[in-house]
Amino acid sequence: MSEEKSLNFIEEIIEKDIAEGIHEGRVHTRFPPEPNGYLHIGHSKAICLNFGLAKKYQGKCNLRFDDTNPEKEEVEYVDSIKEDIQWLGFRWDNEFYASDYFDKIYGFAVALIQKGLAYVDESSSEDMAKQKGTPTLAGTDSPYRNRSIEENLDLFTRMKNGEFADGTCVLRAKIDMKHDNMIMRDPVIYRIKHAEHHRTGNTWCIYPMYDFAHGQSDSIEEITHSICTLEFIPHRDLYNWCIQKLEIFPSRQYEFARLNMTYTLMSKRKLLMLVQQQFVEGWDDPRMPTISGFRRRGYTPESIREFCDKIGIAKRDNMIDISLLDFCLRDHLNKIALRRMAVLHPVKLIITNYEEGKTETLSAENNPEDENAGHRALTFGKELWIEREDFMENPSKKYFRLGPGLQVRLKHAYIIECTDFKKDADGTITEIHCKYFPESKSGNDQSGLKVKGTMHWLHCDTALQAEVRLYDRLFTVENPAAHDGDLQEILHPKSLEVISKAYIEPALAAAKQQDRFQFLRLGYFCVDKNSSSEKLIFNKTTGLKDSFAKVV
């Protein structure tokens, strides 16, 4: 009866490795972000993969910051990355930094020089580019390629000691300038950067390149399965070359296809641009595809994990429909979000046959999906707010809401019938008059009336006010990454709409930051981080599935 879920290709490799007793069947992964930006939804895929694999196979997963470029990295990013991973629900076994290993990595470089496998090159970067050749044209050796070991050792030591300015020389691995794989044409493995590092300060003025730090860090931590994205496939040759020449722990690299999602930008560089040019409020702007943005928007970690599980792991390029993320979100929120009523675009409704000044307390369930969620009290009276969209002067037959002579149910209250309405000079509806049917009271309906529509409402005298922020997609095109021109050209002009005076029900007064609700018939909303008891602010997380919208 237990349905076996099929394995993805990495799980297959791992299970094979375990079966063969490689590394005593141990599984140790790592998540290796560079702290040069905030984590986005694409990183969630890698996080769920790496931490998920460790969990599934009773292994370990390290968090390791790939901090080898001091010019781009900052502690703010380190902190945000840690917060985001934890929020997603994962705990790392070790918190490491590539910069922890600078001494060891330096030692690896010296070892390579001593084996005659690395040399200091004073060619300019232009010359080095020429030496590289092209995909079809073999490269040529640098004039500095055959320096003696002693000279290389001396030069490299002086590089470390700060005797040279940035860019004067680099350390290169001595591999093969005619290699089919361009990466293997004597790659740079150390460069000079007189820059302060966020952790090592001014201790170093030379820093290893990715290819001479990442794999080495994997080895030092005895990572068994080093999982990265497809664009690192050509680097695997070098990864393995270093392990072999240095005779260090043989971690293995495996590559999977990164996440692409419709209407979403995944480039950290471009996201940084949105922040710097203030097209959004910051990295955690609810429109951003960052983990912190989704958090502020009201997404749940459960829904993001479920999404990552559903999209699968494979090697072919993909473009996931963002509606799948939406589905996972709604699916979870539907189960956990308390129901409340709010009126975003209010118009007054007067119940003409309801006694002036009278009120009634009604009971409303907090969540029909959850018996244990309990009930709350609602006040009903003569004057109510309803949604402007819920009234039409000349409704079509498919319109199940209010219009002259039409009947609807007010949720948790009575059935009403529209008897009259008022307009101002511009034709804007200013007031709707209805009569109610006292015997149609919710839960005890004796009226025998049948209506097609049910509407949300708020009692004028007791409703509270709040700011509500409505979000739409940030980009107008399905694949913003493919857009060549200015980002501004494809930015959705109405990605944010602020409703400064929306009405909400009194039960929402005590709502705290990050609390999530379903505003009946409107969608899911969560309390913004800048919300206060004086001024409540709600972010729209996502709408409800709306099958009526398509009819219109």
Partner RNA sequence: UGCCUGAUGGUGUAAAGGUAGCACAGCAGUUUUUGGUACUGUUAGUCUUGGUUCGAAUCCAGGUCGGGUAACCA
Left if phi > 0, otherwise alpha if psi is -120 to 50, otherwise beta: which for 523? left
Q: Reduce the DSSP state of residue 218 to 3 states and report it.
A: helix
Q: Judged by CB under 7 A, does residue 234 bind RNA? A: yes
The residue from 21, 135, 357, 485 that contacts RNA (CB under 7 A) is 135
The token pair at 432 is 């709707």
The residue from 110, 153, 177, 324 that contacts RNA (CB under 7 A) is 324
Contact positions with RNA (CB under 7 A) in 47-66: 66
Shortest reach from residue 166's CB to RNA, in Å:
6
Contact positions with RNA (CB under 7 A) in 369-408: 369, 398-401
Q: Is 258 a catalytic residue?
A: yes
Shortest reach from residue 181's CB to RNA, in Å:
5
91 to 120: interface string for RNA, x by CB under 7 A:
------------------------------
**Please, which residues bridge with residue 278 across strands?**
none
Nearer to RNA, 421 or 437 (CB): 437
The residue from 40, 60, 214, 305 that contacts RNA (CB under 7 A) is 214
The residue from 146, 203, 323, 363 that contacts RNA (CB under 7 A) is 323
Nearer to RNA, 317 or 356 (CB): 317
Q: Judged by CB under 7 A, does residue 368 bind RNA? A: yes
Shortest reach from residue 193's CB to RNA, in Å:
7
Question: Mind giving me the DSSP string for 414-458?
Answer: -EEEEEEEEE-TTS-EEEEEEEE-GGG-TTS--S----S-EE--E
Q: List the catalytic residue out of 55, 132, 245, 258.
A: 258
CA distances from 369 to 333, 372, 514 (A): 10, 9, 21
* Dist. CA 120–CA 157, nearest whole Å: 10
9-37 residues labelled b (16+ CB within 10 A) or e (exposed): ebbeebeebbeeebbeebbbbbbbbbbbb
Shortest reach from residue 59's CB to RNA, in Å:
19
Nearer to RNA, 105 or 496 (CB): 105
Provide CB contacts within 8 A for 107, sequence distance 6+.
none
Q: Judged by CB under 7 A, does residue 143 bind RNA? A: no
The residue from 143, 162, 167, 374 that contacts RNA (CB under 7 A) is 167
Q: Judged by CB under 7 A, does residue 28 bind RNA? A: no
- What H or E segment, with its residue span, contains residue 152? helix 149-160
Q: Judged by CB under 7 A, does residue 75 bind RNA? A: no
* Dist. CA 62–CA 97, nearest whole Å: 10
Q: Is 34 a catalytic residue?
A: yes
Nearer to RNA, 60 or 340 (CB): 340
Helix %, strand %, coil % for the chain, to 5? 30, 25, 45
Which among 108-116, 178-186, 272-280, 378-386 is the span making contact with RNA, rule CB under 7 A? 178-186
Q: Judged by CB under 7 A, does residue 287 bind RNA? A: no
Contact positions with RNA (CB under 7 A) in 527-546: 544-546
Contact positions with RNA (CB under 7 A) in 243-282: 257
The residue from 180, 393, 439, 489 that contacts RNA (CB under 7 A) is 180
* Dist. CA 474–CA 471, nearest whole Å: 8
Q: Is 316 a catalytic residue?
A: no
Provide φ and ψ at 487, rounded to 5°. -60, -30
The residue from 46, 88, 109, 170 that contacts RNA (CB under 7 A) is 170
Q: Judged by CB under 7 A, does residue 165 bind RNA? A: no
The residue from 75, 182, 377, 509 that contacts RNA (CB under 7 A) is 182
Question: Mind giving me the DSSP string for 49-94?
Answer: HHHHHHHHTT-EEEEEE----TTT--HHHHHHHHHHHHHTT---SE
Contact positions with RNA (CB under 7 A) in 409-448: 409, 411-412, 440-443, 445
Query: How many chain residues interact with RNA (CB under 7 A)?
Result: 94
Q: Judged by CB under 7 A, does residue 457 bind RNA? A: no
Nearer to RNA, 113 or 320 (CB): 320
Shortest reach from residue 324's CB to RNA, in Å:
4
- What H or E segment, with its residue span, contains residue 376? strand 375-381
* Dist. CA 440–CA 448, nearest whole Å: 8
Which among 161-169, 218-226, 270-278, 425-433 is the span making contact with RNA, rule CB under 7 A? 161-169
Pairing mode, if any, of strands 28-31 and 60-65? parallel
Q: Judged by CB under 7 A, does residue 235 bind RNA? A: yes
Q: Judged by CB under 7 A, does residue 14 bind RNA? A: no
**Please, which residues bridge with residue 176 across strands?**
none
* Dist. CA 343–CA 450, nearest whole Å: 25
Q: Which residue has the tokens 């170093």?
A: 204
Measured from the Cβ of residue 190, the count of other Cβ atoms closer than 10 Å reads 26
Q: For helices 9-20 and 41-56, what crossing angle results, to 10°?
A: 30
Q: Judged by CB under 7 A, does residue 455 bind RNA? A: yes
Q: Catalytic amino acids?
A: 34, 258, 268
